[in-house]
Amino acid sequence: MTSRLASLNEWVAQVAAHTKAHQVHWCDGSDAENRRLIDLMLDSGDLVRLNEKTHPNCYLHRSDPNDVARVEHLTYVCTQERADAGPNNHWMAPDEAHALMNGLFAGCMEGRTLYVVPYCMGPIDSPFSRCGVEITDSPYVVVNMRLMTRMGSEALARIERDGSFVKGLHSTGDLDPDRRYIMHFPEELSIQSFGSGYGGNALLGKKCHALRIASYQARSEGWLAEHMLIVGIENPAGEVRYVAAAFPSACGKTNMAMLIPPEPYREAGWKVWTLGDDICWLHPGDDGRLYAINPEAGLFGVAPGTSEATNPNALDMLNEGAIFTNVAVTDDNQPWWEGLDERVPARDWRGRDYDPRNGPAAHPNSRFTASIKSCPSYSSQAENPAGVPIDAIIFGGRRAQLAPLVLQARDWQHGVLIGAAMASETTAAAAGQVGVVRRDPMAMKPFAGYHFGDYWQHWLEVGKRLEQTPAIFQVNWFRRDEQGRFIWPGFGDNLRVLEWILARCRGEGSVVETPVGYLPELEAIDLTGLEERPDMATLLDFDADGWRKELTEMAAFFQDFEPRVPAELHRQLARASAALG
């Protein structure tokens, strides 16, 4: 063990002693190791083999019924100063959190194997990538981390070269909901998770590292860790431009990441390339532009609603080598979930004979894990160590009224305001009242690892370092008519809006200037080939009274984060208010 790995070896030995692990296994990420772990879980019943003819090398995992989702109310950011975590995070003092977690981890791996999982977030050879090591007692976590990250020997070699890594410690414990915590120590670059086997709580490379810890790293190192997809859009001339986009849940993020152009665009030669569906790390380049990498290597997607109609590219990924969690199965042991097709499942997500009186067959938060390279629209540029240059950043939300189909910010500073105030309305599927506006800045509300005021200021500072800032836009695919029907067709037809966005990035495309940004002229978006022309006048309507109310609500929202809200955001609000009169 070299001196640069000595600290890792010492940490593993300490954890093994404290948890009383039966044995220690250092993961190399090999096919043989993966096969052994899958066989182990098949023997234990932790995995079920799915239909080998239709879904070769695919498996189903059924988690404990009380362990099926992220536990945000038990997720803490543990900074020395409470104010640094911000009102956007639950906080616990580091000493208190360590004492609590040390007590939970004591002896918890007795009779179990401790797995050491070295991983790299981002291409192995990228200067923008960052490494971590997760210690876990869950073979399910290991096989998922192999799909979701660059895991194994190459990552360990990178850690040896860099001499640094994020420490992640996880145990399923006894799956007791009253003994379940996820602690983040950003000042220590470490994570501790106990009592859950669910992916969002247990795959520590994902939201825990790639967003909460990475956003803190990014602030100190001068880059951005964001909850964004990355797509490349190729025009008929063969030119590819790259876009990063942030959407809260239920706003079409994965669908946009794997967008299939509408028929007239496909015939003309337009293509869309998938680089990432969930997380994006943005770095200022030497040329003054902003470059993006996807730190992940796989997708941990929500199954219900994924179908041939909504996202055929995602569906195509799941025919081989995928792991499903808490989906139902058909009588011939194929995975099934609500919205997939008209078949009736045989067994539900708990393994019971399907009975609609027991609720949905698949858990509403059931998941699939798959390598992004399985995606038919996958771009090899996802492995480019330099990243890809970003022309546009898009913030989206779900608004029945007010928000237009697309709006362009005047400049970077105005764009930060748009992102900081982005919002969606609750739907019938969400708990509570329908139509309530909820703010989710940059879609990072559950994931920013420090105070939102400091986070917005960091966005402004990154913009100052760029000679050519990406243009920033807001989109809303969910505007409704008086009968409550969606006006815009959505899905693949969203490329029509992206075409206008990229034209604006080149300084082209006709616009109408409003006090809150630039709108397309009514004929600016190409509607060729649509069977029914949408009501563009309503989609691009500017409601001055509605925007006055919106700006007032934005200002009230920012009050929760004072005194750290950047003065520039107040200036942007004041400018828009003055223009509205």
pLDDT, one tens digit per residue, over 263-292 is 999 999 999 999 999 999 999 999 999 999
Residue 578 is classified by DSSP as: H
Q: What is the mean pLDDT of residues 429-445?
A: 78
Strands 229-234 and 271-276, by their bridges, are antiparallel
The answer to whether the predicted template modeling score (pTM) of the entire model surpasses 0.85 is yes
What are the E-state strand segments in 156-303? 166-171, 181-185, 190-194, 224-226, 229-234, 240-246, 271-276, 280-284, 290-293, 298-302
429 band by pLDDT with thresholds 50, 70 and 90: very low
pLDDT, one tens digit per residue, over 23-49 is 999 999 999 999 999 999 999 999 999
If you write DSSP's letter for every residue of 473-517 in order, what string do you get? Answer: EEE-TT-B-TTS-BSS--GGGHHHHHHHHHHHHTT-S-EEEETTE
Please, is 50 exposed, middle or buried when counting C-beta atoms within 10 Å of its C-beta (0-12, 13-18, 19+)?
A: buried
pLDDT, one tens digit per residue, over 562-575 is 999 999 999 999 99
- Tell which CATH classification among 3.40.50.150, 2.30.40.10, 1.20.810.10, 2.170.8.10 matches the domain 298-374: 2.170.8.10
> Would the pLDDT of 346 be above 50?
yes
- May I ask the CATH class of domain 3-47+72-221? alpha beta
Please, is 365 exposed, middle or buried when counting C-beta atoms within 10 Å of its C-beta (0-12, 13-18, 19+)?
A: middle
If you write DSSP's letter for every residue of 390-437 in order, what string do you get? Answer: EEEEEEE---SSSS-SEEE-SSHHHHHHHHHT-EEE--TTSSS-TT-E
138 marked as part of a ligand binding site: no
271 marked as part of a ligand binding site: no
Q: Which of 251, 280, 375, 505 is catalytic?
A: 251
246-255, 429-438, 505-514: least confidently modelled range: 429-438
pLDDT, one tens digit per residue, over 392-419 is 999 999 999 999 999 999 999 999 999 9
Q: Is the dihedral of CA 107, 160, 120, 376 positive or negative?
A: negative
365 marked as part of a ligand binding site: yes
Q: What is the mean pLDDT of residues 70-96?
A: 96
366 marked as part of a ligand binding site: yes
pLDDT, one tens digit per residue, over 182-195 is 999 999 999 999 99
Q: Are 49 and 172 in contact (CB under 8 A)?
A: no
396 forms beta bridges with 475
- H-type helices in 195-290, by residue range? 199-202, 214-221, 253-257, 263-268
Q: Are 230 and 280 in contact (CB under 8 A)?
A: yes
247, two tokens:
């959407």
Give the architecture-level CATH label for domain 226-296+380-580: Alpha-Beta Complex (3.90)
433 band by pLDDT with thresholds 50, 70 and 90: low
494 marked as part of a ligand binding site: yes
51 marked as part of a ligand binding site: no
pLDDT given at position 432: 53
pLDDT given at position 249: 81
252 marked as part of a ligand binding site: yes
Q: What is the mean pLDDT of residues 483-497?
A: 96
Number of Cβ within a 10 Å radius of residue 350 = 15
Active site residue 251: yes
User: Domain extents for the chain?
Assistant: 3-47+72-221, 226-296+380-580, 298-374
If you write DSSP's letter for every residue of 335-372 in order, what string do you get? Answer: EE-TTS-SPPPSB-TTSSBP-GGG--SS-TT-EEEEEG
pLDDT, one tens digit per residue, over 115-163 is 999 999 999 999 999 999 999 999 999 999 999 999 999 999 999 999 9
3-class DSSP string for 296-343: CCEEEEECCCCCCCCCHHHHHHHHCCCEEECCEECCCCCEECCCCCCC
Residue linked to tokens 């909820």: 438
Q: What is the mean pLDDT of residues 286-299?
A: 98
pLDDT given at position 110: 98
460 closest CA partner among 411, 413, 526: 413
207 marked as part of a ligand binding site: yes
